[in-house]
Chain A
Amino acid sequence: MSAVSTSPVIERGTATSRIAAIAAAIIIALLAIAPHFLSAGAVDRMTALFVYVILAAMWNALAGFGGLVSVGQQVFFGLGAYFAIRLADAGLNPFLALFASGIIVGAVSWPLSLFMLRLRNGEFAIGMWVIAALTHLLVNLDRLVQGETGTSLISLNVYDAGARRAAIYWLALASMTALLAILFGLLRGSTGAAIRAIRDNEDAAASVGVRVTGTKRLLFVLAAFGIGIAGALWLATSITFQPKTYFNVQWTAYMIFMVLVGGIGTFEGAILGALVFFLIETWFGGTGVWYLVGLGATAVLFSLFLPRGLWGTIEERFGLRLLPVGYRVRFPAAADGDATPSPQQTTPYREKA
Chain B
Amino acid sequence: MSNQIIQGILLGGYYALIACGLSFMFSVMRIINLAHGSLAVFAAFALWWLASRFHISPFVGLLIVLPLMAAIGWALQRFLLERSARGGALLPILTTFGLAIVIDNLLFEQFGADTRSLAPYIGSLSYDSWEWPGSIYVGKLAVIMFASAVILLGGLQLFLTHTRLGRSIRATSEDPDTAGLVGVDARRANAIAAAIAMVTVGLAGAFLGMRATFDPYAGAPQLLFAFEAAVIGGAGSLWGTLVGGIVLALAQTLGAQVHPQGFLIGGHVAFLIVLFIRLSTSGLGLRGLLRLPTRKPT
Contacts of B295 in A (CB 8 A): none
Q: Interface size for chain A: under 10, 10 to 19, 20 to 34, or 35 or more residues?
A: 35 or more
The reply to whether A133 and B93 contact each other, CB–CB distance below 8 Å, is no
The reply to whether B285 and A118 contact each other, CB–CB distance below 8 Å, is yes
Closest A residue, CB atoms, query B100: A296
Stretch at the interface among B5-13, B54-62, B220-228: B220-228
Closest A residue, CB atoms, query B221: A133
Q: Is A120 an interface residue (CB 8 A)?
A: yes
Contacts of B31 in A (CB 8 A): 122
CB-based A-B contact count at 8 angstroms? 130
Q: Is B108 an interface residue (CB 8 A)?
A: yes
The reply to whether B109 and A289 contact each other, CB–CB distance below 8 Å, is yes
Contacts of A297 in B (CB 8 A): 98, 102
The reply to whether A351 and B87 contact each other, CB–CB distance below 8 Å, is yes
Q: Is A28 an interface residue (CB 8 A)?
A: no
Secondary structure dominating the interface of A: helix
By the criterion of a CB under 8 Å from any partner CB, how many residues of chain B are at the interface? 49
Contacts of B80 in A (CB 8 A): 300, 304
The reply to whether A137 and B264 contact each other, CB–CB distance below 8 Å, is yes
Q: How far is the CB of B281 from chain A (nearest CB, A)?
A: 12
Contacts of B83 in A (CB 8 A): 304
Q: Is A253 an interface residue (CB 8 A)?
A: yes
The reply to whether A69 and B94 contact each other, CB–CB distance below 8 Å, is yes
The reply to whether B265 and A138 contact each other, CB–CB distance below 8 Å, is yes
Contacts of A119 in B (CB 8 A): 279, 285-286
Q: Is A129 an interface residue (CB 8 A)?
A: yes
Q: Is B181 an interface residue (CB 8 A)?
A: no
* Assembly CA distance A295 to B99 (angstroms): 10
Q: Is B135 an interface residue (CB 8 A)?
A: no
Contacts of B100 in A (CB 8 A): 296
The reply to whether B101 and A296 contact each other, CB–CB distance below 8 Å, is yes
List which A115-129 residues lie within 8 A (CB) of chain B: 115, 118-123, 125-127, 129
Instruction: Please list the residues of chain A having a beta carbon within 8 angstroms of any beta carbon in chain B.
Output: 63, 67, 69, 71, 115, 118-123, 125-127, 129-131, 133-134, 137-138, 140-141, 147, 249, 253, 256, 260, 289-290, 292-293, 295-300, 303-304, 307, 351-353
